[in-house]
Every structure is written in C-alpha cells, then in structure tokens.
A and B are shown apart, each in its own frame.
Chain A
Amino acid sequence: MTTLVLDDLRKSYSRAGPAALHGLSLTVASGSLTALLGPSGSGKTTTMKLIAGLIAADSGDIRLGDRSIRDLPPERRGVAMVFQNPLLFPHLTVAGNVGFGLRMRGLPPTRIDASVAEMLDRVRLGDLAQRKPAQLSGGQAQRAALARALILRPEVLLLDEPLSSLDPALRDEMRLLIRTLQRETGITTIVVTHDQAEAVALADRIALLLEGRLVQDDTPQAFYARPATTAVARFFGGVNFIPGTVRDAVFDCAIGPLALPQGLPQGPGLLTIRPESLRLGPGPNLRAAQIVAVDFLGSLTRIDLALDGVALQAMVTPDTARGLSVGARISVSFPPEALWILPH
C-alpha cells in the first residue's frame, strides 16, 4: 500500500519569521488524485517540497505505507515531482529526458528505449523523441516533463501547478491527460494548485490550506455543500452569509425564521447558501426581495438582492434572468437542503 501520511508537519524558513506550516496532518489515500489547494503563501509548495525531500521538516513525520520517508534523501523516497516550469534538461533530447530516471537506476539501455518509446506514445510525443527541449511548445514540454516522472512508476507523483503555465485551450487537454494517465496507472498523485476550479475539475479529493494550516480535507462536492469555515466558503465563491441562531431545525435571523434540514449544530451560527442554490420564485422558505443589480456574465447571470437589509447574491441562467430589472421586487426561496451553518 502506498498511502501517504503527513503527521503534524511543521516548517519555518527563519527563526524569527512566521511558520510556513503549522502542524499539517493529512492522509492521502493510495491511488487517489488529491489537490493541495490554497492561495500563494498558504504552504502548499512547502508541503510539496517536504514530501519530495527537497527541504527538511522542523518536526513531524512523513510516511509512505508503513515506512517513514522523512529522513530519506529525495532519490530514495519513491516520490517523483513535476515542477511548475517543465525543467527539461537542455542538453538531452526529449527521449533522453524521459529516460533520465531509468538511466539513473542503471537499467539496461534496450529496456530504457522500449519504456521511453511507450511512454512518449502515451503522451503523444512519439514523433518528437529526437527533438531538443528548446524546440518544443509549452504544452509539449509539459507533457514531456509528465512522461519523465510517470515512467519511473513512483509511489507518489507530485505535480506543482501543472496547468498554470499553459494557454487556456491547452489546459483542458493537459487536465484530461493527467486524469487519464492517473486512472490508468493508479499512482497516488498530489496536484498543487491555487485555482479552486482546477482542483474541482481534476481531483477526487481536495485538501485546502490557508495560512499554513489544513482547513478542510474533503471531496470537491463537499467544499460547496458543507464548507468547514467562512474562509473555506469564501475561497470557493461563497458570498451569502446571514448571522443568527439555530434552534432545533429552524434558523432565527434578520430575515425571519428559515426551516433547516435536521442534524445541524445548535446555537449561534452563520447561515450560508450558494448563489446558484438560491431560487428565484416560489418554494420553501419564501421571502420577497428587491433586485439591486443584474450582471450578465456569459453562461450565468448574477443577481444582487436586498432582503430586509441583508445583501444576497444569486447566480441564475440567462433564461431565468430574462425580464428581471433593477428595482423590481421578486420572490426568493431558500431550499432547506441547500442551507448550511458555519461556526460564528
């Protein structure tokens, strides 16, 4: 088994400065594709380098299966990393680059050549094998870098912002390739990214880091439906927050009592609902609101609402928004299953 366990990892870059990681504990299931998500400075690259062995942790442990890899040098960890910049060795051909790791292991050349040819076909670079890195496009270089790591069949594959240097058109292609190759090989993979949309589209699970702390480790769906904190909700585009108190299955707040699903924590809390879950029109928890702004955003239209002094935002399809004008009063309903209570 190659489950990766990070156990209370701590790291500071300078004695005086703030810690980059404050005791990170995370379990990455074998064969999963996990996104390590966070804004810049949240500690995700630090975590990546700790796993790869490029920097040393101040304390804590890193385990792969049942062995600790914390004190192993990078080349003996069974962890391969693909950097944000493809970093293809300029003096080697594409094939030479992809075969690099196998040569370091001292495999016979004939076996290396066969593996390289097969790997290059999988990333669709078969006809560019003899090119030098300088003759590749950005997308091709990124695919070569991915092939160079995957060919080693590492126990853990680390990808640092693999899509950020690519054009939007190439991004979808690369995302699909990563997804496909990861499923086929079953290699436990961690993708570092600052883009929540990328994390959601790519990963089975997301670990969200904010200011050096793990704030939530969950499925992509859960980050939308059940964010752990206000900061998590905001990071995933949450904008509707109403303070109040939970009593049984009812939320008391400035816009009157709202029916909640069963089983939410009692007491004071912050009610949140995704802008795309707020329903314009009749339904449960019906209220009347005034339209403050209507903004066409392309595939969706954003409606800003005022409801008894509380500002709310709804995202609806342009079809739903047709005929809505600023100043009009409309009915708004809060489906109970879309309501979630954050600690306040």
Chain B
Amino acid sequence: MRADRMRTLAALALAGFLILPILPLAIWSLAHGWRFPDLVPQTWTLKAWSLAVDARSGVLHSLAVTAGIALATTLLAALIGLPAGRALGLYRFRGKGLVTLLLLAPAFLPGIAIVFGLHGVFLRLGLVGTVPGVILAHLIPVLPYMVLVMAAVFSRFDPEFEAQARSLGATPWQTFSRVTLPAVLPGLMTAALFAFLVSWSQYLLTLAIGGGRVQTLPLLLFSFSSAGRNDLTSAIALLYILPGLLVLLVTARQVTGRSLALVGGLRP
C-alpha cells in the first residue's frame, strides 16, 4: 500500500510538473483578453481555436508541413542510421573513433555556427526554400542521435543470428525483416521518436534553409508571438507540445519499462 501511495504521489508530481506550465497556455487560448490582476479571464471565447483550424490562418497547413518534414527526416535518418549503427556497433575498423567523432560533431556544434555556411551551399544546390532542403538540413542534428542509439543497440546484437537465418533458407531481405529488425525494433522506435522530436522542434535550420517559404509550426509560433497574438500563439503552442507529450508517454515505457504503472497511477 505504501508503494502504491508513493507511486500516486510521484505521478501527481510529474503530472504537475508537466501540466502546470501548460495551464496558462490553455487559458490564453480560450480567453477574450486577460488583464492583470484578474486570476482568470473575464470572458471566454473559441475564437483563437476557430482561427487555428481555419485554412486561412495556415496553422493546419503548417502542422501538416511540420509533421511531414519530421516524418520524412525520421525515415531517412532510420535508413541511414540502421546500416551506420550496425557497422559501428558490430565491426572494428580503422578510424572508427574518428567516424564516431564526426557523427557526434553536429550534436556538439551549435546550429548557428554552421547555418551560414550551410545556407551558402544549399543556395548553390537550389535547395533553399524547398521542403527537401529543410529535410536535409534537419538530418544534421538528427543523425547523431539515430546513429549512436543504433550503434548501442547493435553492439548487443549477435550477428550469428543472421547467419543462422540464412542457413535456414532466409533471403537477405527476409533475414533483415524477420530476424534483425525485430531484434533492434525497440531501440529503433526510441531513436525514431527522438529523431522526430528533434526535427519537430527545429527553428533555426528551418528558418535559414526554408527561407520563409517552408512554414513549420515553430516558425509560425514565433511570428504570431512577435505579433502579440497571445491567444493564437497559445493555441499553436498547445498543438506544438502535443507530440512531445505523446512521445514522453510512449517512451517512458521503453526507457523505464514501467510507464503503465505510472500512467495507471493517474487513473482514479
């Protein structure tokens, strides 16, 4: 019983930590003006939300663009991260330390340090202002996470399983899809969720490479925020937070293996 109570307390603390900062956003998005010293707004309205879902505000389009870019970035990162992580995790080769360092470098370097050079290169390639250009740019901060997580996953994978599958009649593709992929899937899912979030929250690279023509949610959020539209900004911010919360709930299970207990603690 004590353990149960502790768990409930922990769940409440976590919920408070996560939800309390969001509360003002939720109020703002429903307020028709909210002036000091009112504790809650005098009048409520759904205007901000109806504007947010209106095609003319571009919020929904932006949401779709952001999700599409994040999904494409994650998929590409997985396609590169699987073989790269496999090579780093399973094999010893000359220059492995250097390769690891180079892969990690983007995670250390601040985006602002590379963004001007990158802009120049992408301009010459005709990628500035295009969605593929933004996706390529997002791969820079995303790949280190993907590759390093997959390298750690593969370092615990015995490649003899693949030899065994082949000698039981599996083609190379069957071996990958029926043996290797199921073995690394939990790690791949975690890496993919983080990759998705890193892309989802990119601001600087999208601004620089998108050249204002690729409007992702963080860009839109920033422009409404600078325009002083607190209600619409709050509504967009709530939409923006959503995937992060989902990822947290899903990965808590992967990371700790007991998120169900945690979530269960939230239920009456």
Contacts and interface: CB of A to CB of B under 8 A. Distances in A.
Interface residues of B, number: 18
A101 B163 contact: no
Contacts of A79: 167
Nearest to B166: A74
Contacts of B50: none
B182 A80 contact: no
A54 B167 contact: yes
Interface in B157-184: 158, 160-161, 163-172, 174, 178-179, 182-183
Interface in A36-93: 52-54, 73-75, 79-81, 83, 85, 87, 89-91
B167 A89 contact: no
A111 interface: no
Contact of A105 (B163, B166, B169): B169
A104 B164 contact: no
Contacts of B179: 89
B168 A148 contact: yes
B174 A91 contact: no
B161 A75 contact: no
A81 B166 CA distance: 9
Looking at A54, A87, A91, A101, the one whose CB has the most chain B CB atoms below 10 A away is A87
Contacts of B169: 75, 80, 101, 104-105, 152
Q: Which of B168, B179, B183 has the most CB of A within 10 A?
A: B168
Given A90-B183, A100-B165, A104-B178, A83 B160 contact: yes
A73 B183 contact: no
B185 to A, nearest CB: 8
B264 to A, nearest CB: 25
A149 interface: yes
B64 to A, nearest CB: 35
A87 B166 contact: no
A91 B183 CA distance: 7
A158 B178 CA distance: 23
Contacts of A52: 163, 167
Interface of A: 52-54, 73-75, 79-81, 83, 85, 87, 89-91, 100-101, 103-105, 148-149, 152, 158
Nearest 4 Cβ contacts at the A-B interface: A74-B166, A101-B168, A81-B167, A91-B182
15 contacts: A52-B167, A54-B163, A73-B171, A74-B166, A75-B169, A79-B167, A81-B163, A83-B163, A89-B161, A89-B182, A91-B183, A101-B169, A104-B171, A104-B178, A158-B167
Given A83-B164, A89-B165, A104-B178, 20 more contacts: A52-B163, A52-B167, A53-B166, A73-B172, A75-B168, A75-B169, A89-B161, A89-B182, A91-B182, A100-B170, A101-B169, A101-B170, A103-B178, A104-B165, A104-B168, A104-B170, A104-B174, A105-B169, A149-B167, A158-B167
